[in-house]
Structure 1
Amino acid sequence: MMLTRRHFMTTAGCSIAVAGSGANRGWAASEITLGQMQIQTLSDGHLSLPPDFIFGPMPKDLLPPVLKANGIASGPLTPECNVTLVRDGQNVVLFDAGSGPAFQDTAGLLVDALDAVGLVPDDVTHVVFTHCHPDHLWGVLDDFDDPLFANAEHMMGQTEWDYWFDPETVNTIQTERATMAVGARRRLEVLEDQMTLFGAGQEILPGVAAVASPGHTPGHMSFELRQGSNSVLVVGDAIGNHHVGFARPQWHSGSDQDQVQAADTRQMLLDRLASEQMQLIGFHLPGGGIGRAEQTDDGYRFIPDPV
């Protein structure tokens, strides 16, 4: 049986002043019990994105009703950043590493979130990456450019590694993403000796299988966490938001590197999630990112798990 709960932690160990605000911040966690696995999502903060970063390629006449139906107002988008933590009594596994301090000042809070659940970076045994965008990878280094999770084995899909480690990627990627390529390669160079590569379909850890979900990046991976007949799918950015990503999965998103492939991947994942009624965890989905996909007459909708 899987149970879900969400709670906010504002203990002395996790409340700090937000720069410039004088306010205290608590780190939120959502939690699932899956067999022997304790699965939590920890907040790395949130991003601030211009709407066209996602909506740019979408049909301008059809987009407003979808946004209105999902309560999306004008102005910057501020998606959550949910890092998945799995503890099984032996391993302490992070799925992605957050953005660290070098990307946006509204994110990079993972170390504080770990502290709020009684962990420090040295406790982490594995860091598993969905992909190499800044908000998922850049948090792997500390202030001295050393690996933050010094005791951890780092794990990434072979295709994703090959793409971002290739020195030519910076010359072939879209110009506006060139800084992503530079930042990714710099971090991967530091992690090279600690990195284990894998392919789609492999069981990379007990109860954890890699699921190919390309398009957002060339080698994006999702991960199925399974205990007996129950499973949860960590989708990373393969389903990148709770509004158009569900309601109109075939619409191309400006956030995806291969927009056609990413749309096909979204449709495939949503078909499976809805038909199997499998729980999912999305990096940028609201309320900690845990919920289900429900099919509608013309698409899907995200149903957050009850708290």
Structure 2
Amino acid sequence: MKLSRRAFSLGAAALAGAAAGLPRRTLAQTSVALGGMRIDMVSDGHLILPRDFILGGLPEEELAQILAEWNIGDGPLEPPCNLTLLRHDDRVVLFDAGSGPDFQPTAGFIADALDAVGLAPEDITHLVLTHGHPDHLWGLLDDFGDLYFPEAQIYMGQTEFDYWTDENTVGTIGQARQAFAVGAKRRLDEVADMITFFRDGEEILPGVAARATYGHSPGHMAFELRDGSESLMVVGDALGNPHVAFARPDWHTGSDQDAAVAAATRLSLLDQIASGQMRVAGFHLPGGLGSVERVADGRYRFVPSA
């Protein structure tokens, strides 16, 4: 039997992970039917982030109350990484590519999650990217620089692509994110001629419409999934956590590249989701799927799916 480079890479990664005793999240977490659509949230693992990356500089007393409601103590934050998988007619659509092998050792396990729902990377027919940050993009390529989802047609917003492939971005993004820029450009240059570009408001696939949600990154996109009267918003990192992003969406947080624009986006997006009684699928939300409750004017609550 001929062993492909991808199979070799996956086998080596599995052995390395077992040897290091790294945590692996391998199962689909939550799923929902949306008319004729089936949506599964599959785990790519989780990140380990310094608290100040998201929470630095926020009002301490109110912040402590919000975090207590989610049982978040001191120490680093460990947000989950949930990829949205849509099966509709003959399409198998994955939203975002995950971290791949080069970002953090606690993430990059999408192969296990796909296997748990009876799929392989070759089964993905469409790959839709919300934005160019490492945990969403770097899984485009494997250890050898080959396409990890070789049969997938790739979709990305034109504004986001232009930003990450601009030669000037690495010099203007700030030292803390320079590796993001280098990694994004290398991967996007590799697949540039395979990408279908779109802009705000376009229906990129049947029942899948792009929604501009700028701020977390310059061209960040969310996606409204709709079949008949039922709808769900794939929010990527426009709603990047279940606590302050909902309880105080007006706060400016360090994880956003343009904090003011991101705050305005959150307020508008949460109002739309709550008013429309839409479901929500979030990359860093617990379990991935849930709903939004309006608590007060400009304040909301994330309710995870049972």
Length-normalised TM-score, structure 2: 0.91
Segments of structure 2 that go 5 or more residues without pairing to the other structure are: 1-13
CA separation of 1:51 and 1:218: change in aligned 2, threshold 3 A: same
Structure-2 residue corresponding to 1:140 = 140
CA separation of 1:304 and 1:24: change in aligned 2, threshold 3 A: closer
Q: 1:209–1:225: 8 Å Cα contact kept in structure 2?
A: yes
Structure-1 residue corresponding to 2:295 = 296
Q: 1:270–1:293: 8 Å Cα contact kept in structure 2?
A: yes
User: 1:22 deviation in Å?
Assistant: 8.6
RMSD: 1.6
Q: Residue type matched to 1:297 in 2? A: A
* 1:10-159 matches, cutoff 5 A: 18-21=18-21, 26-159=26-159
User: 1:42 deviation in Å?
Assistant: 0.3
Structure-2 residue corresponding to 1:3 = none
Q: Residue type matched to 2:88 in 1? A: D
* 1:224-303 matches, cutoff 5 A: 224-287=224-287, 289-297=288-296, 299-303=299-303
Once residues 227 and 206 of structure 1 are traced to their aligned partners in structure 2, the CA distance between those partners, rounded to angstroms, is 9
Task: Describe the SS at the equivalent of 1:257.
Answer: coil
Identity %: 57
Task: Describe the SS at the equivalent of 1:40.
Answer: strand
Q: Residue type matched to 1:143 in 2? A: D
Structure-2 residue corresponding to 1:8 = none
Once residues 245 and 24 of structure 1 are traced to their aligned partners in structure 2, the CA distance between those partners, rounded to angstroms, is 27
Task: Describe the SS at the equivalent of 1:177.
Answer: helix
CA separation of 1:201 and 1:28: change in aligned 2, threshold 3 A: same
Q: 1:124–1:152: 8 Å Cα contact kept in structure 2?
A: yes
Once residues 124 and 65 of structure 1 are traced to their aligned partners in structure 2, the CA distance between those partners, rounded to angstroms, is 42
Once residues 94 and 24 of structure 1 are traced to their aligned partners in structure 2, the CA distance between those partners, rounded to angstroms, is 20
Task: Describe the SS at the equivalent of 2:196.
Answer: strand
Task: Describe the SS at the equivalent of 1:76.
Answer: coil
Q: Establish whether residue 185 from structure 1 lines up as the match of residue 185 from structure 2.
A: yes
- Decide which moves more: 54-63 or 148-157: 54-63
User: 1:58 deviation in Å?
Assistant: 1.6
Q: Establish whether residue 170 from structure 1 lines up as the match of residue 170 from structure 2.
A: yes
Q: 1:240–1:282: 8 Å Cα contact kept in structure 2?
A: yes
Once residues 275 and 301 of structure 1 are traced to their aligned partners in structure 2, the CA distance between those partners, rounded to angstroms, is 13
Q: 2:25–2:113: 8 Å Cα contact kept in structure 1?
A: no
Q: Residue type matched to 1:123 in 2? A: D
Q: Deviations over 1:126-182 (max 9, x none)?
A: 100000000000001012101111111110001000000101100110210000000
Structure-1 residue corresponding to 2:7 = none
Q: Deviations over 1:185-210 (max 9, x none)?
A: 00001111111110000000000000
Segments of structure 1 that go 5 or more residues without pairing to the other structure are: 1-14
CA separation of 1:24 and 1:233: change in aligned 2, threshold 3 A: closer
User: 1:27 deviation in Å?
Assistant: 1.9
Q: Residue type matched to 1:291 in 2? A: G
Q: Establish whether residue 211 from structure 1 lines up as the match of residue 211 from structure 2.
A: yes
Count of aligned pairs: 291
Task: Describe the SS at the equivalent of 2:108.
Answer: coil
Task: Describe the SS at the equivalent of 2:296.
Answer: coil
CA separation of 1:23 and 1:285: change in aligned 2, threshold 3 A: closer
Q: Deviations over 1:30-56 (max 9, x none)?
A: 111112211111000000111100011
Q: Deviations over 1:265-289 (max 9, x none)?
A: 00011111111111000000002x1
User: 1:25 deviation in Å?
Assistant: 5.5
- Decide which moves more: 33-42 or 229-238: 33-42
Q: Deviations over 1:234-255 (max 9, x none)?
A: 0000000000110000001110
Q: Residue type matched to 1:295 in 2? A: R
Once residues 43 and 69 of structure 1 are traced to their aligned partners in structure 2, the CA distance between those partners, rounded to angstroms, is 24
